[in-house]
Amino acid sequence: MAINSAIEWTESTWNPVTGCTKISAGCAHCYAERMAKRLHAMGQPNYRNGFDVTCHPDALELPLKWKKSQMIFVNSMSDLFHKAVPAAFIEEIFFTMNQARWHTFQILTKRADRLRQLAPRLKWTPNVWMGVTVENDKHVDRIDRLREVPAAVRFLSLEPLLGPLPELDLTRIDWVIVGGESGPGARPMDPAWAIDLRDQCLHAGVAFFFKQWGGVQKKKAGRLLEKRIWDQMPREAALS
């Protein structure tokens, strides 16, 4: 079975790769690293290497066995375009996604340069959505790399949002997710940053999804932005 996800913008997760390394400020309090350490301590075999990057060939065909159509976040416990993931293994993951067209696959990376490098080698069927994470204005160049990728849906995860992102170029971007950091040591998000991004999306006609305020008590902080829930999704749905 697919692993049901508590992440608000997806339904399930699939992790043919686990483990990662920190690359920028948004990684400082990585939830996946904390979870991997717990699973390693529990003796979970997929985390035998802790949070070291590890490929799991035995997981490659799992989505083909899940007959119910669902939204699947790919590698919630890693970054698919990490330099330690062989290009050939990335191609195998894409081959599975290309076959399983009844699902919608959502991929996120902070490693936009490698994404751009490998994109021409990959088959971008309409059910494969590609996104980049941008936590502050030092990394808006990742959005430019994403624009070069021929995905049917391109999206941004602005989480954890660590600073304002004024005047974003949202050209050829279909969806924006905004969220504050959660968990131990969570850094606060200024409401003005989130409101400005919401307004930018409304002006540009881009779907806006407000994931969370975050903080140590994420559930208590909630998801209301100016007294409403923002759960917009991209207009272009995945094709079967």
pLDDT on residue 219: 83
pLDDT tens-digit series, residues 75-124:
999 999 999 999 999 999 999 999 999 999 999 999 999 999 999 999 99
> In 69-211, which ranges are continuous DSSP H helix?
87-99, 112-118, 141-147, 191-204
pLDDT on residue 238: 43
Q: Map tokens 């050829």 to a residue.
A: 172
Q: Does the pLDDT value for residue 235 go beyond 80?
A: no
pLDDT on residue 6: 85
Q: Does the pLDDT value for residue 154 go beyond 60?
A: yes
Phi, psi of 201, deg, nearest 5: -65, -45
Query: Whole-angstrom Cα distance, residue 155 to residue 157?
Result: 7
Name, in order, each residue with C-beta under 8 angstroms of 210's C-beta and a sequence gap of 6 or more. 178, 179, 194, 198, 223, 225, 229, 230, 231
Spelled out in words, what is the top-level CATH class assigned to the domain 3-221? Answer: alpha beta
DSSP state of 144: H
Name, in order, each residue with C-beta under 8 angstroms of 16's C-beta and a sequence gap of 6 or more. 55, 56, 57, 59, 60, 62, 74, 75, 89, 93
Contact 70, 100 (CB under 8 A): no
pLDDT tens-digit series, residues 200-227:
999 999 999 999 999 887 888 899 999 9
pLDDT on residue 226: 97
Q: Does the pLDDT value for residue 239 go beyond 60?
A: no
Closest CA to 100 of 73, 75, 125, 78: 125
Contact 25, 162 (CB under 8 A): yes
pTM of structure: 0.95
| pLDDT-above-90 percentage for the chain | 91
For 221, the token pair is: 């902080």
Rg (CA), the chain: 17
**Domain layout of the chain by residue ranges:** 3-221
Q: Does the pLDDT value for residue 236 go beyond 70?
A: no
Strands (E), 75-231: 104-109, 128-133, 153-158, 175-179, 207-212
Name the pLDDT band for 2 (thresholds 50, 70, 90).
low
**Mean pLDDT score of the chain, rounded to an integer?**
95
Q: Does the pLDDT value for residue 240 go beyond 70?
A: no
